[in-house]
Structure 1
Amino acid sequence: MEGESQRNLSDSRRNISKKDQERSASRLERLASHMAAVPLVREAQLARQECAKVKIKHQVHVSTLVEFLTQGHQSEQEKVYRFFLERPHLQTPVEIHKDKHRELCMRQLTAVVREAGIRPMDLLLNDPASYFVFTEAIGHIDLSLAIKLGVQFSLWGGSVINLGTKKHRDKYLAGISNLDYPGCFAMTELHHGSNVQALQTTATFDRLTDEFVINTPDEGATKWWIGNAAVHGKFATVFARLKLPSPDSHLDKDMGVHAFIVPIRSMEDHSVLPGVEIRDCGYKVGLNGVDNGALRFSNVRIPRDNLLNRFGDVSRDGEYNSSLPTVNKRFAATLGELVGGRVGLAYGSVGVLKASVTIAIRYALLRQQFGPPNKPEISILDYQSHQQRLMPLLASTYGFHFATQYLVNRYAEMKVTHDDEVVADVHALSAGLKAYITSYTAKALSTCREACGGHGYAAVNRFGSLRNDHDIFQTFEGDNTVLLQQVAADLLKQYKEKFQGGALSVTWNYLRESMGTYLNQTNPVVTHREGHGHLRDPNFQLDAFQYRTARLLHTAALRLRKHSQRLGSFGAWNRCLNHLLTLAESHIESVILAKFIEAVNRCPDKDVRSLLKLVCDLYALDRIWEDIGTYRNQDYVAPNKAKAIHRLVEYLSYEVRGVAKELVDGFGVPDFVLRAPIGLQNGQYSEYMQYVGF
């Protein structure tokens, strides 16, 4: 008994000693982090008036930054810019009527292809990275031109190339490339946009004539918002339900949605062909250089060969054959080949964000207002509130740039390998990045306009046109809310496959450890660490983002399982919808940060790498602070650490302010392309005065 008592006492002492050691280690950790940390803002020393005097500068050559961002494509952008600089008659004026804008866009597009010698279709097929860089440059010239170009080559041309076979490429590719065959992409209907599988337009096979008969069965099936349809298009890729006569029934057999080439205007005199009705959708909120129209079909006959038959074909005797066994698989394969549009919109949206942030920051550097008594006024970018508005936007722009570069590279890999895993990865990633970035840019445009005060309201300073032209990016190629649901569904699929031993795709592979490492009890030492070295450690930042995603994914799966027992699968999904959208956004932010960190690490120039690390830290910590409630609720971040993150975000915004000019110059958008008088590199006020006639 005595020996057992001694053992118990010894064990008790060891336990007490272990707890004391843990407490001591925690105190030492916090003390060390305080001692090692770079001093924070020092509110008493860094009063706002001092911000005008003290600028923290990083040594960096803008040309080196531009070279790293463009990854060897700078000359391609400059070729586009020089072409329009030398042709003032092709530049879009501030004020222009819809009809004149449409004709100007067509002249611009024709000039790019036939005078500049740029062949967008060839780039899209052989060098997707160059194609998307080219379209970003075109978007800086005029977003209407970029969208019209995308309709012609990415949508109309891409549908023929990706959904058709050799006979279609041989017949149409040259005419699409040189603009002899201007065309449309007729998918969206009045009653159906995102739900493509429910489209109502029909294409019924007629065995007697070896033709398909295209019909619009009711008003809801009218093809709507079809770019190039109202004025210029001669052909349309029409998405319709393929109907085959059934020998055993008076009802036709529905084989699902397929794509068909349908001529809509005469090649000789451009007149509308019999059975085709075309109406003009009229003025829009923006993009009025694009001639959107509505199409209806009444017994329009097309040859059987006009079926784009890569995933499904019909023989002369009316037999259907496909390498894919089900309607759903054929539909998924069809949409999977059309993700280029989403890739382009995500990439193009970043271009719009670059322009708006550049204008707002250059104006903020120029404009002086108020200041210490009896001293000169200071730049409005020296005010903490203005830094907090604009510097996180600048950091996000850089993060989005590297994320969309990665997306383009994955898309190019997909087009070469046709690997199923890469296809699935690009499909989900393009949906998520398109939805997240376009929504963010739409909000950022308003922030940038407001940050420029009354001058941001002048049309010549472009915020109005950029905001209006970009707004539809949130709906193009899939409504953003629907696309985020696709991302959430894919995450849940990956979650399920993890427990079944399946392989995770490259983009989601951090979830491999998520149910273990990320969901274990948080480390109380790390929870309280608040030193700069720790907070600016990319491992901590990425772990925080991925922890949040893993937690949301785990709880979403549990909630769906619980609610599905009572509400069914659809009801459970709808009940958890806001949770699922948050999950998707969290995952996309994790991907953006991961690609930002990778870009920083691979940058060969140490000065640029240091600058990008600063911007990356601001992006990461600002996003953590924006969702600090989630981290606090899960005890991932202690109160003292949350305060430290907030102070550091303020300080990093101040530090980035010191290199804001170099960072926006790094986007490489020349003054004559940016065009906003308040956003020029110098002489802003003189340009502005000239515009109003002084």
Structure 2
Amino acid sequence: MDTSDLSSNRTADDESHPTARRIQRLSLHLTPVPRPLDHTDVQLETLTCAARPKLNVDANSLLVFMRGKHRDIQEKVFDFFNARPDLQTPVEISKEDHRELCMRQLLALVREAGVRPFRYVAEDPSIYFALLEAVGSVDMSLGIKMGVQYSLWGGSVLNLGTKKHKDKYCDGIDNLDYPGCFAMTELHHGSNVQGLQTVATFDPFTDEFIIDTPNDGAIKWWIGNAAVHGKFATVFAKLMLPTHDTKGASDMGVHAFIVPIRDLETHQTLPGIEIHDCGHKVGLNGVDNGALRFRSVRIPRDNLLNRFGDVSRDGKYTSSLPSINKRFAATLGELVGGRVGLAYSSVSVLKVSVVIAVRYSLLRQQFGPAKQPEISILDYQSHQHKLMPMLASTYAFHFATLHLVDKYSEMKKSHDEQLVGDVHALSAGLKAYVTSYTAKSLSVCREACGGHGYAAVNRFGSLRNDHDIFQTFEGDNTVLLQQVAGDLLKQYKEKFQGGTLTVTWNYLRESMNSYLSQPNPVTARWESEDHLRDPKFQLDAFRYRTSRLLQSVAVRLNKHSKTLGSFGAWNRCLNHLLTLAESHIETVILAKFIESVKSCPDASTRAALKLVCDLYALDRIWKDIGTYRNVDYVAPNKAKAIHKLADYLSFQVRNIARELVDAFDLPDNVTRAPIGKQSEAYSQYMQYVGF
């Protein structure tokens, strides 16, 4: 966390009276401050492992609350693959066999089980994402292959095309007669989509577009479904229109085109198209990523996906949007579902890994008091410190991504312009934050399970390798966090120009007043458990940090832009901007967790969720305690109390850890790791190696 600017951006009034301010702070330490009557005086030093009994949790009520609206369709997927050993992915499998198995799995799901994911992409995205979670639990490669077919290739036709495209292609996409690709990324360009070099030049004499790869850097790279199975590709290219002047052609910006790449009957590569295999990858080897080069490939003018821009027979360009930038933004805005799906799926990966690690840590016994039975490794404070905040974060991400899916579904129905912008920023932030957290957590879970976590059958290796690319595709995480920071700065600027802040980030409206004022020296010292577990204190702390970061980076950007220019200033403040985005997303996550706790109807379940939410909040505050100390938001005694309470809450969460992981409702045939079985884990593990 870059905190240098937090401590250096106090108000001018503070800096002009440093002596008076220090005297005030000293007097507060010498003169006790009476605490409010509604805060308990219980001292944290008295909190021991035996201070209070274990929280009673109604396991069934907790499971029902966490179950979700579409569990029935997920169970249909689980049961189908559980009954088909021939479709289950073995621990050891070659790249070629994995790809063919993955295609057979998808075909069986659609044609035998009768599950049609494409119908839900447009009709009810929440069902589609629930399906994606279930399918990814069967095999993450299968989940990605399904996403390429329906969310990317199919989604591009639905969202960027018009009626003629939907009528022609959607049935074939739905039933897998038309397997396809999403050809955006190039060898030299990934995140910078506006910099793509592939060109589509209109030929008015033949009424066709000519797709060309002008240089090696423009080869389409990492294209899922391209190496083996794809028959079509949505190709993103610069639309070039011929002119009658010396320019030769006019660049209308990046557009999407449907390009057949293989013959529908023979499956032979079509003329002018060169396809190569990207080869063995770190993970997801069930997905056939390929590279595509186009040499004067001609396609009909109707193959332009023309929702946001069209070309007439006589070569005239028309669009409802006035500029290249607006058309580009609209195009990418319609493709935001991929980020939503990755954030949601990443949480499901985190759930699986946490379930395995926690169950094994409850089972595994190691050392203990002299002449007494060995104790569970989850009884060690160090192990609780590894896994209990992670379990709390998993719950927090669960509610945050459910909220994201709801907002996305609402956006697809309403097409509200403000909601489109909100979902774009929220999906970028949650995708970046959650996938980065999950990637780190997978290694922690492996380590928490010791040597047995290293066995491939116990899945941490494949989960870690398959998930790792989640941090890169659908937008590199560092780039996405910059988008979040840019959105916050835009709203900050609008606020000070007399505008209003959007509904999504409306807490910043208040932050410009109370959150940016000088921290209260009285509340900075409150350390009672009731106060620290008060959702208002927790949210205020998160919001204060975000507001300070936003205000201070705005000042820095303004200062540096005078000498470095806007790009140079942004680069100079980049770490600060990334920290701002992460802080903001953590604030949104906490707010949604608190709302979910309040909405829980069962008292025992609500108490358990409140405990987990408090651990999430206080663990995050403690991990960034330097920031709060630098600006005197938290006094030393309060910082110590936060640390102690976070440790104690980890112990309390450990006491109900089994119920908490069971509430994810992942059957053994989904987790599949022998050491993560609900019963007889060691015997299952022994059977696997031949005993």
Please, what TM-score do these two structures have when normalized by structure 1? Answer: 0.94
- Stretch moving more, 513-522 or 683-692: 513-522
Query: What letter corresponds to residue 610 of structure 1 in structure 2?
Result: A
Does structure 2 conserve the Cα–Cα contact (< 8 Å) formed by 1:678 and 1:684? yes
Note the C-alpha offset of 1:67: 2.1
Does structure 2 conserve the Cα–Cα contact (< 8 Å) formed by 1:507 and 1:591? no
Quote the residue 1:40 is aligned against.
Answer: 44
- Stretch moving more, 122-131 or 593-602: 122-131
Task: Indicate how the Cα distance of structure 1 residues 251 and 37 shifts in structure 2: closer, same or farther if over 3 A, else same.
Answer: farther
Quote the residue 2:499 is aligned against.
Answer: 502
Quote the residue 1:381 is aligned against.
Answer: 378
5+ residue gaps, structure 1, are 1-18
Which residue of 9, 27, 45 corresponds with 2:32? 27
Which residue of 352, 355, 375 corresponds with 1:355? 352
For 2:563 and 2:405, the matched residues in 1 are separated by 42
Does structure 2 conserve the Cα–Cα contact (< 8 Å) formed by 1:187 and 1:239? yes
For 1:279 and 1:442, the matched residues in 2 are separated by 29
Quote the residue 1:691 is aligned against.
Answer: 688
Task: Write out per-residue CA displacement over residues 393-441 of structure 1, whole angstroms, 9 at most, x where no aligned residue.
Answer: 0000000010000000000010011111100000000000000000000
Query: What letter corresponds to residue 372 of structure 2 in structure 1?
Result: K
5+ residue gaps, structure 2, are 1-23
Note the C-alpha offset of 1:146: 0.2
Task: Write out per-residue CA displacement over residues 143-172 of structure 1, whole angstroms, 9 at most, x where no aligned residue.
Answer: 000000000000000000000000000000
Percent sequence identity over matched residues? 72
Task: Indicate how the Cα distance of structure 1 residues 351 and 286 shifts in structure 2: closer, same or farther if over 3 A, else same.
Answer: same
Which residue of 400, 405, 418 corresponds with 1:408? 405
For 1:70 and 1:691, the matched residues in 2 are separated by 31
2:88 is the alignment partner of 1:91: yes
Quote the residue 1:632 is aligned against.
Answer: 629
Query: What letter corresponds to residue 633 of structure 2 in structure 1?
Result: Y
Does structure 1 conserve the Cα–Cα contact (< 8 Å) formed by 2:43 and 2:528? no
Instruction: Say which SS state the counterpart of residue 362 (structure 2) adopts.
Output: helix
Does structure 1 conserve the Cα–Cα contact (< 8 Å) formed by 2:67 and 2:663? no
Quote the residue 1:7 is aligned against.
Answer: none
Which residue of 183, 204, 207 corresponds with 1:207? 204
Which residue of 468, 484, 494 corresponds with 2:465? 468
- Stretch moving more, 244-253 or 267-276: 244-253
Task: Write out per-residue CA displacement over residues 75-123 of structure 1, whole angstroms, 9 at most, x where no aligned residue.
Answer: 1221111111111111111110000000000011011111111110111
Which residue of 122, 125, 129 corresponds with 2:126? 129
Give the total of aligned pairs.
Answer: 667
Task: Write out per-residue CA displacement over residues 621-644 of structure 1, whole angstroms, 9 at most, x where no aligned residue.
Answer: 000000000000010000000000
Note the C-alpha offset of 1:59: 2.7
Instruction: Say which SS state the counterpart of residue 507 (structure 1) adopts.
Output: coil
Instruction: Say which SS state the counterpart of residue 505 (structure 2) adopts.
Output: helix
Quote the residue 1:418 is aligned against.
Answer: 415
Instruction: Say which SS state the counterpart of residue 617 (structure 2) adopts.
Output: helix
Does structure 1 conserve the Cα–Cα contact (< 8 Å) formed by 2:137 and 2:670? yes
For 2:188 and 2:487, the matched residues in 1 are separated by 26
Note the C-alpha offset of 1:384: 0.4
Instruction: Say which SS state the counterpart of residue 233 (structure 2) adopts.
Output: strand
Query: What letter corresponds to residue 257 of structure 1 in structure 2?
Result: V
Which residue of 267, 272, 287 corresponds with 1:275? 272
Quote the residue 2:509 is aligned against.
Answer: 512
Which residue of 541, 550, 553 corresponds with 2:538? 541
For 1:690 and 1:205, the matched residues in 2 are separated by 64
Task: Write out per-residue CA displacement over residues 358-391 of structure 1, whole angstroms, 9 at most, x where no aligned residue.
Answer: 1100000000000000100000000000000000
Runs of 4+ in structure 1 deviating by more than 4 angstroms, as ranges, are 22-26, 30-33
Note the C-alpha offset of 1:71: 2.8
Instruction: Say which SS state the counterpart of residue 685 (structure 2) adopts.
Output: helix
Quote the residue 1:107 is aligned against.
Answer: 104
Quote the residue 1:667 is aligned against.
Answer: 664
Quote the residue 1:561 is aligned against.
Answer: 558
Instruction: Say which SS state the counterpart of residue 508 (structure 1) adopts.
Output: coil
Task: Write out per-residue CA displacement over residues 326-379 of structure 1, whole angstroms, 9 at most, x where no aligned residue.
Answer: 000000000000000000000000000000011100000000000000100000
1:488-637 correspondence to structure 2 within 5 Å: 488-637=485-634
Quote the residue 1:371 is aligned against.
Answer: 368
For 1:438 and 1:511, the matched residues in 2 are separated by 25
Does structure 2 conserve the Cα–Cα contact (< 8 Å) formed by 1:56 and 1:658? no
Note the C-alpha offset of 1:58: 2.8
Does structure 1 conserve the Cα–Cα contact (< 8 Å) formed by 2:33 and 2:522? no
> Which structure has the larger Rg?
1
Quote the residue 2:4 is aligned against.
Answer: none
1:63-462 correspondence to structure 2 within 5 Å: 63-462=60-459
Task: Write out per-residue CA displacement over residues 272-317 of structure 1, whole angstroms, 9 at most, x where no aligned residue.
Answer: 0000000000100000000000000001000000000000000000
For 1:443 and 1:125, the matched residues in 2 are separated by 33
Task: Indicate how the Cα distance of structure 1 residues 31 and 196 shifts in structure 2: closer, same or farther if over 3 A, else same.
Answer: closer
Query: What letter corresponds to residue 87 of structure 1 in structure 2?
Result: R
Query: What letter corresponds to residue 568 of structure 1 in structure 2?
Result: G
Please, what TM-score do these two structures have when normalized by structure 2? Answer: 0.95
For 1:38 and 1:256, the matched residues in 2 are separated by 64
